[in-house]
Amino acid sequence: MSRLTLIAIAAIPMMVFLTPGALAQEVSEQNTPESNRVELVVVEPVAPRLPLWEAGVFGAGISQPAYPGAEERANLLLGLPLFIYRGEYLRIDRGTVGVRAIKTPRTEVDVGFAASLGSRAADSEARRGMDDLGTLLEFGPRLKINLGDVSEGRSDSRIQLALRSVFDADDHFSYRGIAFEPQWVRDMHLPNGWLVSTNLGAVFGDQKLADTFYRVAPSEATPNRPRYDARSGLIALRASLFASRLFTPDVRVFSYLRLDSVEGAANQNSPLVRRDSGWSVGLGFAWTLSHSERSAKD
């Protein structure tokens, strides 16, 4: 598989969430009742139904730690085609790539998708001489629970519980373990047209995923990197801020900032952990060039 293909796969979660239509749908579904949002939201006419599909282009610059606790960073600049589909069950939209099994005003169950950039061991002082970390793809079920009054099918905050299998796309999609990520998400609509989302969460990993990031086998030990047996449990705590704005009906710009901490994590004492905290940042745009005349059901 080519490196360009891997980059395209790794970008899918961001692309499907950041399309203008997808974020417009997020706005329409997540608004709080008007009486509870006077200071944060400018009341606008109800948006029309979104098209069944949209196609366009997506561009972004991304920088993140090579792994939680790493000293080195992974950076990516990309521009890719963009496609979303809002079928009743088959969904490529808002961070979902797959089947939406259940949807009620309070809960939704779908199949989610996530990814993280890989890094070369030769570029990392801590991992030099070890195996490279490949582009990790995560795939599995996700439960969303809307909080507050959902009598009108609306909520400005939600709990998300994602359980995903992890595969290494650089190593013939070898299995790398299981990740569990609980999150609390809060959306706010600012008067100047910006949509801002805050996210607090944590990432937990099983033994195999912990080994992927933090184990030092006896054959990999050096005077400065002692043998280490990783443990399952907390990988990192996370807090993120996402902001986006629709400048035209078809063009949206976005940025995000995420802070990770391995303070108190299960493998904080691994010799591969060089920093207790790290940050990720992204900046980009999504431009819809074509869409269907037929509307999606929801």
- What is the pLDDT confidence band of residue 266, given thresholds at 50, 70 and 90? very high
pLDDT score at 48: 56
Structure tokens at 169: 């796309």
pLDDT tens digits, one per residue of 156-192? 899 999 999 999 999 999 999 999 999 999 998 888 8
Helix or strand or coil: residue 275?
A: coil
Q: 216 with 227: CB under 8 angstroms?
A: yes
Task: Kindly give, in sequence order, each residue whose CB lies less than 8 Å from that of residue 144, ignoring residues fewer than 6 positions away.
Answer: 107, 108, 109, 110, 158, 159, 160
Cβ-based neighbour number of residue 54 at 10 Å: 25
Q: 278 with 70: CB under 8 angstroms?
A: yes
Q: 52 with 86: CB under 8 angstroms?
A: yes
Structure tokens at 39: 């200071």
pLDDT score at 115: 83
DSSP 141-173: EEEEEE-S--TTS--SEEEEEEEEEEEETTTTT
Cβ-based neighbour number of residue 47 at 10 Å: 11
**CATH architecture of structural domain 3-291:** Beta Barrel (2.40)
- What is the pLDDT confidence band of residue 97, given thresholds at 50, 70 and 90? low
pLDDT score at 61: 94
Q: Where are the beta strands (DSSP E) in 171-266?
A: 174-189, 194-205, 233-246, 251-261
Structure tokens at 194: 């910006």
Structure tokens at 291: 């869409």
- What is the pLDDT confidence band of residue 290, given thresholds at 50, 70 and 90? very high
- What is the pLDDT confidence band of residue 152, given thresholds at 50, 70 and 90? low
- Count Cα atoms within 13 angstroms, Cβ side, for 204: 10
Please give the model's pTM, rounded to 2 decimal places. Answer: 0.79
Q: 246 with 23: CB under 8 angstroms?
A: yes
Q: Distance between CA 180 and CA 157 in Å, rounded?
A: 20
Structure tokens at 163: 């359980």
Hey, what long-range contacts does 130-136 have (CB within 8 A, 24 or more apart)? 130/216, 130/220, 132/170, 133/66, 133/67, 133/212, 133/213, 134/168, 134/169, 134/170, 134/171, 135/6, 135/7, 135/9, 135/10, 135/168, 135/169, 135/170, 136/166, 136/167, 136/168, 136/169, 136/176, 136/212
Q: Distance between CA 122 and CA 222 in Å, rounded?
A: 15
The larger pLDDT score, comparing residue 200 to residue 27, is at: 200
- Amino acid residing at 189: H
